[in-house]
Structure 1
């Protein structure tokens, strides 16, 4: 174990290097990639194991405040992490219409008439219909939708496919954009969307004779890296406008920055799109030579976290030797303006993050919660001369346990760790140089997602558990956090033998403060939407909603005026928000 990991001390500042010409960039890329390559390709993992281990699992979460449509009718938005920063999801609404994706089609439903008013096949029909396209997330800005998908038509060159759709009349494609790699996540502020992509070098390694040993394979692979041109690393993009005109390009050498310590296996690219423009254009891409899988943004700043987990798993799989201590690199971009984002800083902390809720920027400082070697710590990082340096930290959270949920609200932090019991820690972060633990609540089970409920209350959704730590079924808790030194649980609701997608995907969680309605999808004998009522210090069951198509998989819920809408893989259903009486069923497949 290293001294850093053992002491919880921060890692040295992480430095990014920019290159003005391709020759210097290529030299750095080749050197880092040659170090990272093994006899079986990248990361010493045979076959496709690296892809499996390094796959991005984007997480997201909700603006609790109601938005208002043109007719002043309140409606719920996506459950986003930060107010004013929208996250892609399977369904969106502007209070007048509901836009969703179902089996490769974009579907528009009028909220007033409760009828489908438009559909659009997301199959590349505008470009000859020759592509196999997956589309499962979207963003909405006025009469425009940005659909995030993947082009499967060419297994070798497939990658993220973005489609800009005009919703002013019958839905129609305005522009498409393709880029090498895999979609990590996206964020939207106003009409501007930032899309994060991770791409691997496209170099081809030699075919080997069965008799070749690993040393000979490694030498051949390093020779292939040494001969690869810089274009093998730079992501290629293509854009098509409404007239069918195609423009091709790639990320420029001057738009790539290289950390002093680089995995040599991936580039992270941030592309920028104005959803109000006539087309998607070039995306103005900028790249960092790094892996990464967790995105957080609060409006002026966007962070990408790279936990380099493959460095731990890879050697264990292939060599059986001791694994490196876990650590996470953090890359900060300024997105305060509408144009291309700017690199501003990078840093590194011990441990791994759980998800995007492990990060939060407040007053220009980033708070990060990580687990390393069965102990958890919250770090406060401050930007200084291009680095994110640790200004303060508080550790000792859940010794022998791992973080199960995190929420930062203003200058307060909440951390749940779990192994057999669920300590909920309350943290005072008002002094960045000296954050401290104020309180701890031990209960059975755990909360996998924490949601602010106002008036000094916090909602947790997760699993009840036995004293031995075995999950027993869905649990919703209402916590009193008025006094941070003495957090308490006011109420709980349990549904034995069940679970909810909201435990691992906060987009599936809806809390409507106006009425106290809390809605989550649940699974059991018959999938349904569970509707709870949160009032005062009580959680009570208001009812359940099921769709008429048996075994419909519930996905999301949203509120428009006095109507509760629920989305399944078969359709949308409208129910009265107060009585839960069914009002309409709208098939979408």
Structure 2
């Protein structure tokens, strides 16, 4: 998932320094200082909202605007998440008469995440690179339907959105599209459906697939989560401010004054996200987020808004999305079912110079915004908070028994000496307040992977060697490190593998920290004080998509089957392993025909292993890997 870049906040931290022998860290008042909790504050009226946005934007603006891109902010694409402790692909109950099956990997069981392939055990639904939805009958092993779901073209004939990921519920598919054109609706376009922006398409696949609704809005897609038939789609948007041409003004003071005047004249409509919904008959309904649906934390910049949209995939139409908006930025989404969090990693922001001076960047902090999604209706924005440092990804977040655990890496004032901390936060009214923290993890290193399982946390840091830390989080007020395992290389993704077992996917490395190839490790964490590595499998000079996208990882606990995509020089395929109680044994490699058939995902349906690439789908016997069929896409 790509990160959104905005032009306010802290400069990216440059990580350097060396790894030294470290004593086991422990909670200490000398660790990183916790940030004050962000208080939730409501706007009293539309006039209050406009006044607050103008004042915040005027404080943030510089002589050259709010950023470097058109419309004030430059976005680097889009970003971008029941057995409560279990993670990843679970055995799902298919329709009557069907066998169990896996989905693609997810963070929390019961919370689905958008991906390029979905299955219900009878059908496989996937997207081609050209935005064509394909429906595959699993039993017949053939394509039974297809539909182009690429976004509508804008007024210049340019494709506004490309289909990227899917969610599935019953006979409905929700297709999430991305706008790569630079952050949303163009300045001279008033009609939301004629321009870019995130596009959500609802497809009925009960018979021949057909589009029954489209929804377009301003901004960039951050991510989405689905519980039951309800999908929550998170979008970030920026104000559509029209700054004057200040290049001919004499100095920065004059430019700054002109920009502040432009902000003072901007109407509320320039901030509020617009949307357009199209039903199955082609009828359009357009609107804008109501100012009564907008909230804010106590401190905000007025340069970005986060909107959570809700869609019931079982409904006859998408509707207006029931938007709930916060004046904030965000790039990481995590949900566990009743709660949805959006985090803003300010490491990706760049401070703008004010006049002829450059303000010293503030230390990097991660802002957190909590929404209650426990029902199927409109979510509620309930709390905000912040912690020092930056996240790795959504796996840096986990809620357990009402406490949010957050793992971050932070740096000193010079951005040289790094260390990592796990914070435990508790909602207190409208605040996410700190209950406790444990710091000093991996001094001189940064986090490479995190996994929280019930009251235990696992954190991998790396620079030259890989300390795997085990954390006791049973007491939220006093979290502590209880174990540490030092090995070469690192795990970029951690996955629970049953009682007392943990799988790591990453890279082996030399004693000097030079990576040497993909490594799959099996850890014994039954005793958190004494983590050990039981077995490993290494593929020299190889890498795997699972190292940076956990959706590419498959572990089927019923048989111990483990599958990851593998890239090795001029060859690619899917590495298939069998994980035992203390072993990791190779089964073989699945390859698709064609030189550029890079396998991206894998699924287990009954006794068949399905692998998916841009070229097609292949079915292999899950036990022997004997080929059963190939479907070209």
In the alignment, the residues of structure 1 paired with residue 141 and residue 475 of structure 2 have an alpha-carbon distance, to the nearest angstrom, of 51
* Aligned match of 1:134: 162
Equivalent residues in 2 for 1:119-268, closer than 5 Å:
119-124=146-151, 132=159, 133-150=161-178, 156=186, 157-210=195-248, 212-268=250-306
In the alignment, the residues of structure 1 paired with residue 29 and residue 301 of structure 2 have an alpha-carbon distance, to the nearest angstrom, of 20
In the alignment, the residues of structure 2 paired with residue 34 and residue 99 of structure 1 have an alpha-carbon distance, to the nearest angstrom, of 48
Among 24, 36, 55, the alignment partner of 2:60 is 36
Q: Is the 8 A contact 2:465 2:511 kept in 1?
A: yes
Deviations 1:356-399 (A, max 9, x none): 00000000110111111111111110111111110111111111
Is 1:454–2:498 an aligned residue pair? yes
CA 1:339/1:130 → structure 2, altered by over 3 Å: closer, same or farther?
farther
* Aligned match of 1:107: 134
Among 464, 469, 489, the alignment partner of 1:420 is 464
**Offset, 1:150:** 3.2
Equivalent residues in 2 for 1:38-437, closer than 5 Å:
38-43=62-67, 45=68, 51-52=74-75, 56-58=78-80, 63-70=88-95, 71-102=97-128, 103-124=130-151, 132=159, 133-150=161-178, 156=186, 157-210=195-248, 212-311=250-349, 314=352, 322-373=360-411, 374-437=418-481
> Structure 2: which 5+ residue stretches go unaligned?
1-9, 11-27, 187-194, 412-417
* Aligned match of 2:21: none
Deviations 1:90-121 (A, max 9, x none): 00000000000001110101011111000001
SS at match of 1:208: coil
In the alignment, the residues of structure 1 paired with residue 145 and residue 623 of structure 2 have an alpha-carbon distance, to the nearest angstrom, of 29
* Aligned match of 2:578: 533
CA 1:314/1:218 → structure 2, altered by over 3 Å: closer, same or farther?
closer
* Aligned match of 1:9: 33
Q: Is the 8 A contact 1:359 1:369 kept in 2?
A: yes
In the alignment, the residues of structure 2 paired with residue 338 and residue 477 of structure 1 have an alpha-carbon distance, to the nearest angstrom, of 40
Is 1:582–2:627 an aligned residue pair? yes
In the alignment, the residues of structure 2 paired with residue 52 and residue 124 of structure 1 have an alpha-carbon distance, to the nearest angstrom, of 19
In the alignment, the residues of structure 1 paired with residue 538 and residue 151 of structure 2 have an alpha-carbon distance, to the nearest angstrom, of 45
CA 1:49/1:464 → structure 2, altered by over 3 Å: closer, same or farther?
farther
> Structure 1: which 5+ residue stretches go unaligned?
none
| Runs of 4+, deviation exceeding 6 Å | 46-49, 125-131, 152-155
In the alignment, the residues of structure 1 paired with residue 465 and residue 353 of structure 2 have an alpha-carbon distance, to the nearest angstrom, of 32
Q: Is the 8 A contact 1:311 1:323 kept in 2?
A: no
Q: Is the 8 A contact 2:407 2:422 kept in 1?
A: yes
Report the TM-score, using the length of structure 1 for normalisation.
Answer: 0.94
**Offset, 1:37:** 1.4
CA 1:321/1:202 → structure 2, altered by over 3 Å: closer, same or farther?
closer
**Offset, 1:214:** 2.7
Is 1:495–2:539 an aligned residue pair? yes
Q: Is the 8 A contact 1:122 1:135 kept in 2?
A: yes
SS at match of 2:543: coil
Is 1:485–2:523 an aligned residue pair? no
In the alignment, the residues of structure 2 paired with residue 266 and residue 467 of structure 1 have an alpha-carbon distance, to the nearest angstrom, of 44
- The 10-residue stretch of structure 1 (461-470 or 285-294) with the greater mean CA deviation from structure 2: 461-470
* Aligned match of 2:414: none
**Offset, 1:52:** 4.9
**Offset, 1:314:** 5.0
**Offset, 1:9:** 2.4
Q: How many residues end up aligned between the 2 structures?
A: 582
* Aligned match of 2:4: none
Deviations 1:521-551 (A, max 9, x none): 1112111111111112111111111111222
- The 10-residue stretch of structure 1 (72-81 or 190-199) with the greater mean CA deviation from structure 2: 72-81
CA 1:315/1:410 → structure 2, altered by over 3 Å: closer, same or farther?
farther
More strand by share: 1
**Offset, 1:151:** 5.3
CA 1:245/1:46 → structure 2, altered by over 3 Å: closer, same or farther?
closer
In the alignment, the residues of structure 2 paired with residue 130 and residue 242 of structure 1 have an alpha-carbon distance, to the nearest angstrom, of 23
**Offset, 1:74:** 1.0
SS at match of 2:269: helix
Higher relative contact order (CA 8 A, sep 6+): 2
Q: Is the 8 A contact 1:124 1:130 kept in 2?
A: no
Report the TM-score, using the length of structure 2 for normalisation.
Answer: 0.88
- The 10-residue stretch of structure 1 (124-133 or 448-457) with the greater mean CA deviation from structure 2: 124-133
Q: Is the 8 A contact 2:72 2:239 kept in 1?
A: no
Equivalent residues in 2 for 1:535-554, closer than 5 Å:
535-554=580-599
**Offset, 1:468:** 1.4
CA 1:475/1:48 → structure 2, altered by over 3 Å: closer, same or farther?
farther
In the alignment, the residues of structure 1 paired with residue 239 and residue 168 of structure 2 have an alpha-carbon distance, to the nearest angstrom, of 32
- The 10-residue stretch of structure 1 (119-128 or 418-427) with the greater mean CA deviation from structure 2: 119-128
The CA RMSD over aligned residues, in Å, is 2.4
- The 10-residue stretch of structure 1 (289-298 or 306-315) with the greater mean CA deviation from structure 2: 306-315
Q: Is the 8 A contact 1:5 1:325 kept in 2?
A: no
Q: Is the 8 A contact 1:56 1:294 kept in 2?
A: no
Q: Is the 8 A contact 2:278 2:284 kept in 1?
A: yes
* Aligned match of 1:475: 519
Q: Is the 8 A contact 1:5 1:350 kept in 2?
A: no
